[in-house]
Structure formats: C-alpha cells, structure tokens
Structure 1
Amino acid sequence: MADKCCGPKEELITSEDNKDCCHNNPEKVATKEGDSCCSSQNSFQGIAITTTNSSCCSQSKNKNINDNTTSDCCSQEPKKDLEIKSCCSNKEDNISLETSSCCSNEVKDITNLNATPVKGEKVEYRIHGMDCPSCALTIEKGLTNLIDIQEAKVNYNTAKLQIIGSNALSLDSIESEVQKLGYTAEPLIQNKDLRTYDVIGMDCSSCAKSIENHLNSIATVNTVTVNFSTGKMKVEHENSVDDIVSEVSKLGFNASLINNSNKSSDTPKNKEGYGLITFSGILIALGFIGSYNGVSPLMTTILFAIAIVISGYKPVKSAYYAIKSRSLDMNVLMSAAAIGAALIGEWFEGATVVWLFALGNALQNRSIEQTRKSIRNLMDLAPSEAWIKVGSELVKKPVEEVSVGQIVVIKPGDRIPLDGEVIQGETSVNQAPITGESIPVDKLIGDTVYAGTINESGSIEIKVTKLVEDTTIAKIIHLVEEAQEQKAPTQAFIDKFASIYTPIVFALALVVIVLPPLFGFGTWGEWVYKGLALLVVACPCALVISTPVAIVSAIGNAAKNGVLIKGGTFLEKAGAIDAIAFDKTGTLTEGKPKVSGVEAFTISENELISLALTLEDYSTHPIAKTIVKYAKDKGIQAKNGELFKNIVGKGVQATVNAKVHYAGNLKLFEDLEISLDDVRSKVEEMQSQGKTVVIIGTGQEIMGIISVSDTIRSTTVKALNGLKQVGVKQLVMLTGDNEGTAKMISSQTNVNRYFAELLPEDKVDAIKQLQSEGHKVAMVGDGINDAPALATANLGIAMGGAGTDTAMETADIVLMADNLEKLPHTIKLSRKALAIIKQNIWFSLIVKFIALVLIFPGWLTLWMAVLSDTGAAIIVILNALRLLRVKD
C-alpha cells in the first residue's frame, strides 16, 4: 500500500494493511480493513467511509464516492479517472494516474506516471524548426497556457527552451505541446558525470589534442574536450576525479577539478620551477667546457646523459602516452630527436635539444598564464563572503548561501558581493569592473548595484536580487570563457593546416633518414642527423599558438574595459568593419525627452508651467510625464483643477478657476477653431528641429507653448570622432523620426549620412544597402527592438548590457556601459589583434621556412632547430601579450 503525504503537524499511524497520516490529536475513525484517521473537526460530520480502503473528508466537501471498493471524498468539482482514488484539495483540476495520492494543494496536472517530475526546478530543451524570433514567442505563449508551467523562455539564437514548472511537471506534455505548435523539443538533461578541470602545462594545441586522445582511450571516459586557450578540460567520466587527474599527469600536465562556484577547488600551480632546468644547463656547460679542456669523453658523455635524463624525463614520458593514444605532438618529435642524437653519438646535441625544449616550455607556460589571469582576476573581483542583516545583528555568510531578498550591508571601501537594489543609504560606486567606466556612479535608494563593484563613500544596505551564479559578473565570466573557447576562422584554418603539415614533415624526415644513405648519397650518421633536425622543425608550435593567445589576450582586455566580445570570430569581424550604423533613440540620444523650451504669450512663464502641470499631472503619456517632472524640479505648484479629460491623439483638458483649459497639439486647437496664424509657424519650425510641441490655452486664446525634445548623449560626439580616428569610414544614423529631426541630429553628431522615417523592417533594408555598397557593416542598438537589423549586419553591437540580460545574450559584442565611449577602443583593439595575428603567422612561417632550407646544406644544427621552434613560440606569445596593454 502506498504511503500518503503528511504535513508537518501530522504523524504516521500504521494499521495492518494501510498507512495513513493524522494530526497530533485526532479522533480516529476506523474501518474494518485499513484504518484512516480524521481530525476532530471532521469526525462524525458527513464523513464518508467505505468498507475497505477509506478516507475521511471535511464537512465542507461534497462527497463523491463512486466506487464500491476504493473511494475517497474530493472537492466540489473533481475530475477523476482513477482505479484507486485519493482525495486532494479543491485546487486540483485533473488527475489521470492509475495509482495516485495527493500531496500538495497546489498540484494541478498529473498526466503521466512515467514522466520525469520536476518540482520547482528548471528543465531545458533544444528546439528544432524555428526559423525566426517570432517562432520563439509562439512557443512561449503556447507553453505558458499549460497549468503546470510557471515560466517558459525560448532563446531563438541558442534554440534553447527553459521551463520552470510547479510541482508535477510532465516532460511528455511539454514535448507534445511543442509538437502541436509545429516544432520538436529535445530534452537537454544535465549530465552529472560531466566535470570541468583546470589544466596547467599545455603550451600549444597539440598538447590539448594529446590529452583528448589519451583520455578517449579509457573505457570509463565517455567524452572529453580540452581547450588550450582557456586551459580548461571538460570530461564526462564514470571513474573518479583522482583517476582523471592521474591520467592527465601521465602526459606531464597538472589537472584539478573546478567546483560550482567557478573557482578551482585547488587551483593547480605549475610548481616545476627553474631549479632542475638550471642544474641541467650547468651539466651541459661543464660537459661542453670539459670537452675542450682534456676531460675524458666518457665523463662528458655522462654529464650530457644526466642532463638528458633530467630535462628529458617529462617529454619522453608524455611522448610515450601520446604515441599510445596515436597522437603526434611536440613531445614525440623532441624526444625522437634527443634519443636519435644520443644513438648516433651526438650527446651534446641531444642534451641541448631537451634542455632548450624544457626552458622554452617553462617560459611559454609562464607567458600564457598571463593571458589566462585576465579571467581569473575577474573571478576574484566579487568577495566570497557577505555581511547579512538578521534583525539588528550582522552575520557573515558565504555568498553561495545568500538567497534572493536577504539584506546585505556594504561598508565604504568594500566590494559589493551580489547584485541587488539599494534600500538604505546613498553612495557612489566604482563600476569599472563591470562597465569600464572610470568615473564613480552615484547610487540612491532604488538603484541597482552589481557584484564586484566598489562602494566608495557611504554605507548602504541592498536587497539581493540575484543568486551568486546569476550575477552580472558571473555572466560576464561565463560569456568570456565561452568566447575564448570558440575558435576564430583563422585559428581553425591554422589548426587544420598544422594537423596536415606535421605528419607530412614527419614522414619526410623518415624518408631523409632512410633513402639517401640507401642509395649511397652520404653516410647514415649524416642523414640521420638531418632527419632529426627535420623532425624538430616539423613541430608547428609557434604557428598554432600565434592566433589563440592573441584572441584570448584581446578578449580579456576588452572584458576588463567593459566590453564583451563573444568569440574570436566577432573579434576578427570587428577588425574588418568600415561602416557602423546607429539606432538614434537611446543610442545616439538619451532616449528620455526633456523640456527644451518654454514660451509664454499672455501669462508669465511660471504661470504657464503651473497650468501645464495641472493639466498633465493625470496623464500617463511620456511627454506629459516630462513636463510634470520639469515643473516639479523647478518647485512650481499645480493649480486646483477638476473634470480632467483625456482627448485621444490630441491632448488633455481640465477645468481651472471655473474655466476649461487645454494642453495638446495643433490638431486639438484647430478643432477648437482658434486662430493659429501667429503660433503655427513657430510650432512647425520647432517640429522641423526634432522637437515635440505642447500648446497651452483655452477655447478662446493660446497662452503659450512648451517644446520637448530628446537630447544627444554627452559621449556621442566624442565617441563618433574617435571612430573616425580609428579608420571607420561611414557613420550612419537610422531613425524612425521625420526628415527634419534626422537632419538636425545628424548635423549635431557629425554622422556621414542618415536614413529617416524608417520602420524596423526598413532598417534591415538600410543595412543591406550599405552592404551592397561594399561595406562591412556593424549595427549598434539596444539588442531588443533592433534585433532584425542587428542580425542582418555583419556585426551586432548592443549597448547597456549591465542592465539587460537580453542584450548580453543576443549581440555579438556588448558594451556594458550605456554609452558609446568604449566603441572606438573595441574597434582599435580588434584591428590591433588582427595585425598581431598576421605578424605572428608570417613570422612563424618565415622562421620555419628558413630552418627547412638550412637543413640540407647541413648548416642547421639540432639545437638551432629547437631554438628556432621554442624561440619563435616565445616571441609570438610575447607579441600577443601586447594586446593586454592596449589602452583607450
């Protein structure tokens, strides 16, 4: 028999055949077989009891017993289809299980016993078949009609559906509903076996490939992805974490598990210092000097052999596992060269190869870590603990334990631990970690603050609005890490080139070693040496590292300056942009109208504003709110008005001092048949300047006019001039306003051209026109209303990402601050990154080509080959690191 569900004040009473839940002091009513207990308030008053499996109901319920063997009493309007019945609260609507019990009074729909129940948790699906953003809206609306769904969100760009259900969410019903709408839903079940690790010691993408191949050869590992750029490894495995760490260490790398708070539980340090490398170098130097000072060849050989063992142990061990997993990485090539050199008696060459290789790796690792620090530094911005207000006391808690709605106290000078809303106090906050703005922002009650920002002056209390994993800084870190994991087109091409180049040169080295001496062209020792040098040259380390380090550095620099670049692809696109189109309202302008002029005709200016305040105070129109705010800011009081009336599309009216007054547009006063000869020309002139004009008057006269206009952002002109300086040829404004307004704004902002009177779809046509003229076009908007144009442009740039999650999700590049001042820096950084990538690629190829040419005349020694490879790699890394220091 199935147990029933009990509330906190109930205890379990057991009988022979049945278990039921009762309150602490019930008067029990028992049947012959299977007891059931009811509270005293229900006893003996309309309680329905059947002969076998029974339950008791309150007197307020209508009984509905329609089964001779198993029955129950239910709410007044039950919908039941059960073989074994149970009574639920009167909030239940539909039960369609073969065996069921009612636990919560909020259960609304249980449709399938085999469905996966999710109680108040998120479920994600991949949606197939959407071809435009309106499809996403259709699915959302369709699903929110299901009674057991609290919230449904569909992201068109990622094709993901996120469901938050109530107490009994059926996956089958969701998939069925989506299918009815014409799409298919694929559940994205979170895999608990998928873990993320930090890996230390990788110095090029071939190392990452070796780790992947090795772990894929283990039966208990299902999938593995290693990203060299970020030093992250994602593994789906059934064995223990220690086993994975051990397997990675066999290849010569250090791995550690990253916990849920985005911080490594035990961040691995590359503890391999320079001690052994220095000692090995001393042995080589002693052997080299001894060979010219009468020291026996045996002694110098022993010194070189010890040096080979010390510096070569790690690469040889890694090479063994790389070969075992069918990888051909740099460890294999260097080990083969060193061992080969020793076998042909070139002990000094072999020792020098492994020593230079070890030194080069140590320097590369140290340099690469600097690029990865940009993200780790972001993680450390938000404090790990917060002072929570509990009554009159302050309690320090880890941020992971703080829930939404709790009150956090932040003292002057402290970093803000979580996103929240100021509920007490005033201060100024340094938001540079989020938005890149250098000037602190004043925060008053009701304003939003972000985790990781610095409270500079007053003590404040905030109400937490987001959990630690949902804060803006957490999303930035996540987006930046995702961006760094994505390969840019250039990087993808080079990786593919290297995967073909290395085996070809390796095979060519074997041919050089074997064929010439077989046909009598020189000695074996001579050609083996040349073949070994060719093996070293076959390692394309400098080439494959040339792009990812530059991209990681540039994305890290941008994030530090309040700009999110979603990946290397968009970084490259930004560097190629030569035309930028701007939405006018809210982008070039503030998007908030202000009173720009007051002109009184028959009364004083203050009297006119007072009348306007009286008339507009009850209106919800944005223009009316602007006038009301203006009047209140000036300290002007409203008059006594009555009989307020809204005149749709024209204005408002009210009776003031027993006389009807009006505030509205020209059309309103034309209908009143008032002479407008003197006023009309002024109004039309103002309208041609992009202003909205409100006329104040009575049925007999015009008392004055108030003009309202949107103002250009203080940073707009500076930002546009900065874009011209970095080489953007075309600056274009797109607006739905009339020609006069567009012309005035364009002259004030110095844009090259404008498109006026545009509908949203017309903006798309404007973007296409620019592209047809041969321009690479970026579109700058708010990420929501301008979605079609953002999608059509070569690059979509959203503003104000710190305040809108949508902008962070939809755009290719996000300016976290709500202004354009970081846009010139973004374009400059992108172009600098492209230039450095090209420099690195050409430098790597030229060095490799020179080394190949010098092999056959016998001019290239083994140690020179190693130096050309590791030295070139270090140079391209250092060149890429310059991107971390690019400033505005």
Structure 2
Amino acid sequence: MAEYRLKGLSCANCAREMEEEIQKLDHGDNAKIMFNSSKLVVSDEVALHKVEKILASDGASIVRESSDSTHDDHDHGSGRKLLYFIGLSAVLFALAIALENMIPTVAAAGIYVAAAAISGYKTFIKGLKNLVAFKFNIDTLMTIALIGAFGIGEWKEGTLVAILFGINEYLEGLGMEKARKSMETLLKVAPKEAILLSGKEERVIPIADLQAGDVVLVKSGEKIPSDGVVSEGRSSVNEAAITGEAMPVEKTPGETVYGGSINNEGVLKVTITKPYEDSSLAKILHLVEEAQETKTPTEQFINKFAKYYTPLIMVIALIVMIVPPLFVGDWGSYFYQGLAVLIVGCPCALIISSPIAIISGITRNARNGILIKGGVFLEQLGHVDAVAFDKTGTLTKGEPHVEEMIAYTNIKELLRIAGSIEKSSSHPLAKAIMEKVEQQSIPLEEPTDLKTIAGQGVEANISGQTYRLGNEASIPFDEIPPQIQSDLEQLKDDGYTIVVVSDHEQVLGLFGIADEIRHESKEVVAELYDAGVKNAVMLTGDHDKTAKKVASAVGLSHYYANLLPHMKVEKMKELIKKGKTAMVGDGINDAPALAVADLGIAMGKGTDSAIETADIVLMQDHLGKLPGAIKIAKRVNTIIKINISLALGLKIIALLLTIPGLLTLWIAILSDMGATILVTLISLTVLIDKNKAGTQK
C-alpha cells in the first residue's frame, strides 16, 4: 500500500464519494481517503493516473515529494485562490446591481451569470457530470437550483446563492484546515536528523538510518533522535513531546531518554536502543494520526443519515414543486420554493459537526500527554460513570517506603545496624530502609557472617555483636514485652509490612513499610468527582487493611481487596453492568482488566506495553491530567450535540418557511452557511485551554 498526502480536500461528503469511486478501480478495493488528515492510502498496483483524475473532479490532487512547498502552503494557496474568485464575483455582482436599470436586461444577466460562474464553476462542472451519471449530491443540487433560478429569470438571487455557496465552501475548508494544522503542528515534533558517532568521527544521518546500538551526539537545544540510554554527559531534558510535562527532567549516565525530547543544556552521548520507527514518539505520532480517522458511533450515524437526507430533500422539493400548484396554481412561485428546498439538502454542515471537534479533542489531549487512540474512545471517555484504579503503581508509586519507625534504642544506632545489614541487598524492603538511612547520612559498617534465615530474614555480625533483621518470626526470643507487642499489632492494623531489628536480648526497633501513595492521588480523585464521575473504586490484590488505608487516604468510594487477576476481571464485569466504567492501570499486570473494561487507561510514560494495551495512555508517570482529559471529552461530546442541533435546526427552520411561502434561495443557502460557520467556530473552541484543567500541580 502507498500513502499520499492530498491538497484541496475540503468536503467530507465529497471525500467519501471519491473514495467509493477509487474503490471501483482495479486493485482499488482497499483504497481509503483519510479526510481528517488529508491523506490517501491506495494499493501500489492501482492506476495512479485514474486516481488523480477522480481526485481532480473535486479539485483535490496529490502533493508530489518534489514540490517546493509544504502541504500547508498548498492548501493555503488553494484557499486564497477560492477567496480571490469569490471577491471577484462579489465585485461583478455589485456592478450588476448598480447597472441593471441602466443597461439592457441581457447585459445585466450576462454579468450575473459571469459572477456566478467565477465563484462556482467547479461546482457547476461537477454537478453537470453528476446529472449525466444520475448521481445526486450537493453539487448536483446546487447546479439544478441555479439552472432553475436562471431559467425563471431570478438572476440576482441565483448569483447570490453561487457566491454564498463559494463562501460556505471556503469556510468549511478553512475550519477543517485549522484543525488539521493543529494536529500537524503536533506531528512536527519528530526529529529529522541525528549526529552519529563513529570513533572520533561525527556524521549527520537521517533518523531512518539509525540502528539499535548506534551512539549519537545530542547538543544543547537539539532533539534526541530516538529512544536510548545516556552513555555520557549530564543535562536536563524537556520530555513534553512524550509526556506533555513542561518541567525538565534531569538525566545522568544510565538513564532512559525518549526520541523527540529536547536536550536543554550541555552535551549528551546517547546509545540508541530502538530504531526511530519503533521508538515511543514514532508510535505515539502514528497512533495519533490513525486516531483522527476512526469513526465514532455518532459520526457513523451522521454519515449514514446524510446518505438518505439528500434524496429525501429531493423528494420534498419535487412535492413542493408539483402538489400545491395542482390545488392553488401559481406554478412559478412553487417551482422557486422547490429550488430553495433543494439547496437545503446540502449535508455539509451536518457532516462536519463531529470531525473538527473530535480532531481538536484528540489534539488537545495529545498536547497534554494523553494519547487517545481514536474518536470512539474520546467519545466514551466523556460518558464514563465510574473509574476503577489498580493500587500498586497507579494510586501508589509501586515502591516500598518507610512510613513508621519505632526505636527502642538510640535512633541513629538503630539505623546504623539496619543500614549495615541491608546496604548490599537488592530486596525492595531493603531499598526502603536504605532510603531512610541515607536521609540521616549515618556511617555504616561492613557486616560479617551474613546469612539468610528462611522465612524470617537475615542475620549478621556487626562489631562483634549478632543482629537479626526480618519479619516478626525473626525475633530470637519467645517473650516479647507488652509495649512492643502492642506496637506490632498497631502496625499490622495500619496495614504496614513490618521489619523487626533485634539482637539476642531485645528488640531494637520496628519499621512500618508501605507502598507510598502518590501525592496527587487524593486531588485527582476529588477532581474526577468534580468532572462528573459518579464512582471511583480500587481493585487490588493487596490485603484488606492496606487497601482500606489507601482507599481512605485518597477518597475512594469503594475498594475491593485480595483480588487475583481473574477476580479483577469478574469484578470489572460487575461494575460495567452498573454503568460505563474505565480501568486505570500500569498496562502490564492489569492487561486482562484493562481489556474487559469499557475503556482501558494505562499509565506508562511511553512504555511499549502501555501504548499497545490500552485505549488511552497517560504518558506521564502520574494521574494528574486524567480529570482534564475527561473534561475535554465531555466538552467535545456536548459540542457535537450542539453542532448537530444547529445544523439540523437551521435546516428545519428553512424548510418550515416553505409553508407560508417565505423560503428564498438566499435564505436556504444562508441556513447552511450559518450552520457551517457556527459548527466550525464552536468545534475549534476545544483547542482553547483556558484554565489548564487537569494539569499536574
């Protein structure tokens, strides 16, 4: 399959019709015109000259690689050309009005026809071709209406309709192009070249030539070309292209960097771990581009409705032209009314009522580091009733943290012994204790006779004294003082994992260790309720006391503990029965529950599993922007409803004007033009970020 960028694509309905025509060609079965991103995907075997002929019938064409202008420049140029023709038509129209009482009627009519032709000659040509082929769309309707208007001597109104229709086309294309450019600005974050290091030699190469294992040089202000690991240098890196976070992240040797992020200062040498096409950024941009073309249920309904709407209007127009005159006469007046009804058959405003808002919503969220894989998921996000969270790595950091420490001896002595025993261990609990020790900057000793006691912990000799560190069973004597026993029970009740430090005679201290709750979790849950979510729950495999503590701390309405993966799936199915439910997890351990949920939302900061598993990916390593994403989705859904109401409402009003005989050609076209303007402007408001809703504070 080959992919081509298109220019001059301004009408969604026309794009669909051209796609159907291309699909009738040999080897064209799988051809697809992606209206939102202005692209054509077609088989390499299809006759390209035939494809171009079909595109040219609607004023569209393929942008050649050799062109010295960008895609944006092309479309802007074609828009300017149309605007120029509309302006010239308007001048001729004004001239005809000024001179019509001073020159022969034929001459005035000639000026009106010239003005109409300049503004709408493409529409007339396409409409005449469609008439011959018995194909009825907006171009056919406009052509019939204008021929009819001129046929009954309505030169002025016919010309005004042609000019207004031209303005309508221009505005429709302008609105769509604004949304496209917003998306394309997002896609331009991809780097183009890399400085490859081969020994002491530096060579500039296209990023497409990069391979895993290559070492590249990234200077201050330059983009990191692909995912990799810092091999040399220190710097802060702006990862906004990946995570949407504006705050720089410090990078040192051994740390991961993402393609498309920007090196703020200093020089970094980066060992590439993935070729660019497999990098996080490439996957994100590809998915965002694909997301533009997925049809929501609303869009599918609109497109299906539009296919029947135009023929229905034609039938109504025919009835208006024939039935009333049979009873009251006045064929000329009702013929005129019927022509006006034909113009009301334009479905353009209705068709664009959804895609501009959808593209704007996806783009706005992508800028914030929220990757939504399609319009259908954006629409669903706006209807979410409940959000279910995994605990570990989602509401919590997934890293053990000492939350309580009880010392029965000198605190520094307790930390010195615990740190000396744990300093060489890689166990997560040992890391939590070492973090506490390092905060006090306590000098440590080298333990001797270090050994593991199965099911209990470790034993070691420090300065000639034997110490034990482990769980409650590691205490080497049976009689535990009441105060210590009480403290142990309290730590258990609080849901902590307990680490005991003792010698052969006494307990020196207790560590209460828990998974640290993310500082933003409580605020996020409160903002979710504020955004209209009715129920926020937690699903965890952890025991009940720990789950209760976390749920209470972050403000969840319910929690479900001791759940194995298959039990999470069953619980998710129960929640779905009560309303549309989203599941938020890390994209790895929660894959089954994410798959079952109405909407799977993964956290992952660019990890492959997160990007591939879920319907929505939070590219940050926190939940801070989730409420904002839901608010944007709700706003998009509201705007689509408003747009559909406006598009249909104005047309219904226009049709009702036929009853008292007040519908005119220019009122008919203004009803569609007014709807197009309102729909476009309202949809583009999604791109305006007034209060940075949902940003990480």
User: In structure 2, what is the equivalent of residue 884 of structure 1?
Assistant: 687
1:527 shift after superposition: 3.0
Q: Which of the residues 56, 79, 84 maps onto 1:249?
A: 56
List per-residue Cα deviations over 1:788-813 (Å, max 9, x = no partner). 3223332221112x331111111121
- Number of the residue aligned with 1:459: 267
Amino acid at match of 1:280: S
Measure the CA separation in 1 of the matches of 2:28 and 2:536.
53
Query: SS at the partner of 1:221?
Result: coil
Secondary structure in 2 matching 1:452: coil
Unaligned runs of 5+ in 2: none
Counterpart residue number, 2:567: 762
Q: Which residue of 2 aligns with 1:490?
A: 298
Q: Is the 8 A contact 2:525 2:555 kept in 1?
A: yes
> How far apart are residue 633 of structure 1 and its match?
5.5
Rounded Cα–Cα distance in structure 2 between residues aligned with 1:787 and 1:595: 29
The alpha carbon displacement at 1:537 in A equals 0.7
Counterpart contact for 2:212–2:275, Cα < 8 Å: yes
Which secondary structure does the structure 2 equivalent of 1:223 belong to?
coil
Please say which of residues 398-407 and 871-880 is displaced more in the overlay: 398-407
Task: Write the distance in 2 (CA, Å) between the matches of 1:799 and 1:324.
Answer: 56
Which residue is equivalent to 2:359? 552
Alignment partner of 2:332 out of 517, 522, 525 = 525
Residue 326 and residue 430 in structure 1: after superposition, are their counterparts in 2 closer, same or farther (change >3 A)? farther
Q: CA deviation at 1:663?
A: 0.8
Residue number among 187, 190, 200 corresponding to 1:379 in the alignment: 187
- Which runs of 5 or more residues in structure 1 are unaligned? 1-193
Moved more, 508-517 or 417-426: 508-517
Instruction: Output one character per residue of 1:369-418: Cα deviation in whole Å (capped at 9) or x when no partner.
Output: 11112321122112312222233343222222222222222222223232
Deviation at residue 494 of structure 1 after TM alignment: 1.4
Going from structure 1 to structure 2, the CA distance change for 1:326 and 1:807 (only over 3 Å counts) comes to farther
Q: Which has the higher contact order (CA 8 A, sep 6+)?
A: 2
Selected match of 2:206 from 395, 398, 415: 398
Q: Report the alpha carbon displacement of residue 634 of structure 1 after superposing the two structures with TM.
A: 4.2
Match of 1:28 in 2: none
| AA matched with 1:306 | A
Secondary structure of 1:640 counterpart: coil
- Residues in 2 aligned to 1:648 and 1:321: alpha-carbon distance in whole angstroms: 86
Greater fraction helix:
2
Q: After the TM superposition, which residues 159-198 of structure 1 pair with which residues of structure 2 at under 5 Å, given as runs? A: 194-198=1-5
**What does residue 213 of structure 1 align with?**
20
Equivalent position amino acid for 1:876 in 2: V
The answer to whether the 8 A contact 1:258-1:264 is kept is no
Shift in Å, 1:749: 1.3
- 1:110-162 C-alpha deviation (Å, 9 max, x unpaired): xxxxxxxxxxxxxxxxxxxxxxxxxxxxxxxxxxxxxxxxxxxxxxxxxxxxx
Return the letter of the residue paired with 1:525: G
User: Partner residue of 1:785?
Assistant: 589
User: Is the counterpart of residue 646 in structure 1 residue 452 in structure 2?
Assistant: yes
Q: Where does 1:282-361 land on structure 2 (aligned, <5 Å)?
A: 282-291=91-100, 293-320=101-128, 322=130, 327-361=135-169
Distance 1:584 1:221 in 2: 49
Q: CA 1:202–1:508 in 2, change beyond 3 Å: closer, same or farther? A: farther
Question: Could you tell me how far 1:656 is from its partner in structure 2?
Answer: 3.3
Q: 1:578, 1:775 within 8 Å by CA — same for their partners in 2?
A: yes
Instruction: Give the letter for the 1:785 counterpart.
Output: N
Residues 562 and 815 of structure 1 are in contact (CA less than 8 Å); yes or no, is this contact kept in structure 2?
Answer: yes
Equivalent residue number for residue 102 of structure 1: none
Tell me the distance in 1 between the aligned counterparts of 2:542 and 2:207: 47
CA deviation profile, 1:56-101 (whole Å, cap 9, x unmatched):
xxxxxxxxxxxxxxxxxxxxxxxxxxxxxxxxxxxxxxxxxxxxxx
Aligned: 1:569 with 2:376: yes
Aligned to 2:630: 827
Per the normalisation by structure 2, the TM-score is: 0.92
Partner of 1:623: 429
Aligned-residue offset at 1:525: 2.9
Query: How far apart are the structure 2 equivalents of 1:850 and 1:200?
Result: 35
For 1:590, what is the secondary structure of its paired residue? strand
Cα deviation for residue 295 of structure 1 reads 2.6
Q: TM-score, normalised by structure 1?
A: 0.73
Q: 1:340 to 1:200 in 2, by over 3 A?
A: farther
| Paired letter, 1:640 | E
User: Which structure's CA Rg is the greater one?
Assistant: 1
Label 1:203 to 1:524 Cα distance change in 2 as closer, same or farther (>3 A). Answer: farther
Deviation at residue 258 of structure 1 after TM alignment: 7.9
Structure 1 434/572 Cα, relative in aligned 2: closer, same or farther at 3 Å?
A: same
Q: Could you tell me how far apart the structure 1 residues matched to 2:29 and 2:376 are? A: 29
From 722, 727, 734, the equivalent of 2:539 is 734
Q: Within 2, Cα distance between the matches of 1:749 and 1:780?
A: 15
Contact 2:7 2:71 in 1 (8 A): no
- C-alpha distance in 2, partners of 1:790/1:328? 46
Residue 705 (1) aligns with residue 500 (2): no
In 2, the alpha carbon distance for the partners of 1:327 and 1:238 equals 28
Q: Is the 8 A contact 1:420 1:462 kept in 2?
A: yes
| Inter-partner Cα distance in structure 2 for 1:885 and 1:625 | 45
Q: Deviations over 1:221-248 (max 9, x none)?
A: 3432223333222222524545533431
Query: How far, CA to CA, are the matches of 2:3 and 2:674 in structure 1?
Result: 32
SS at match of 2:63: strand
Cα distance change of structure 1 residues 881 and 747 upon mapping to structure 2, 3 Å threshold:
same
Cα contact 1:424–1:462 (8 A) shared by 2 = yes
Kept in 1: contact 2:280–2:607 (CA 8 A): no
Which digits, 9 at most, give the CA deviation of each residue in 1:571-598, with x for residues without a partner? 2221111221211111111111122344
Aligned partners of 1:244, 1:769: CA distance in 2, in Å?
Answer: 51
What is the letter of the counterpart of residue 655 of structure 1?
N
Q: Which residue of 2 aligns with 1:74?
A: none
Q: How far apart in 2 are the matches of 1:628 and 1:220?
A: 65
* 1:408-465 deviation line (CA, Å, top 9, x unaligned): 2222222323222211222222222221113222222222222222222332221122
- Provide the secondary structure at the position in 1 that maps to 2:31: strand
Pair 1:845-2:648 in alignment: yes
Alignment equivalent of 1:666, drawn from 426, 451, 472:
472
SS at match of 2:452: strand
Deviation, 1:523, is 4.1
CA positional deviation for 1:754: 2.0
| Deviation (angstroms), 1:841 | 0.9
**Structure 1 residue aligned with 2:667:** 864
Shift in Å at residue 676 of structure 1? 4.8
Aligned to 2:215: 407
Indicate if the aligned counterparts of 1:587 and 1:780 stay in contact, CA closer than 8 A. Answer: yes
Cα–Cα, structure 1 residues 212 and 780, in superposed 2: closer, same or farther, change >3 Å? same
Task: Indicate the residue corresponding to 2:237 in structure 1.
Answer: 429
Amino acid at match of 2:539: L
- State the identity %: 41
Pick the aligned partner of 1:594 from 388, 398, 401. 401
Q: 2:552 aligns with which of 735, 738, 747?
A: 747
Residue 270 of structure 1: how far off its partner (Å): 4.5
Preserved CA contact (<8 Å) 1:616 1:652: no
Q: Give, in whole Å, the separation in 1 of the partners of 2:136 and 2:291.
A: 28
Supply the distance in 2 between the matched residues of 1:251 and 1:659 (Cα, whole angstroms). Answer: 89
- The answer to whether the 8 Å contact 1:404/1:464 transfers is yes
Q: Which amino acid aligns with 1:846?
A: G
CA deviation after TM superposition for structure 1 residue 618, in Å: 4.6
Q: Where does residue 75 of structure 1 map in the other structure? A: none
State the distance in 2 between where 1:662 and 1:809 align: 45
Give the structure 2 partner of residue 612 of structure 1: 418
Q: Which amino acid aligns with 1:297?
A: T
1:496 is matched by which residue type in structure 2?
Answer: K
CA distance in 1, matches of 2:614, 2:127: 43
Does the CA contact (< 8 Å) of 1:245 and 1:256 recur in 2?
A: no
| TM-aligned CA deviation for residue 881 of structure 1 | 0.7
Distance 1:859 1:502 in 2: 21
1:94 paired residue number:
none
Give the 5 Å matches for 1:10-409.
194-219=1-26, 221-239=28-46, 241=48, 243-256=50-63, 269-273=76-80, 274-291=83-100, 293-320=101-128, 322=130, 327-409=135-217
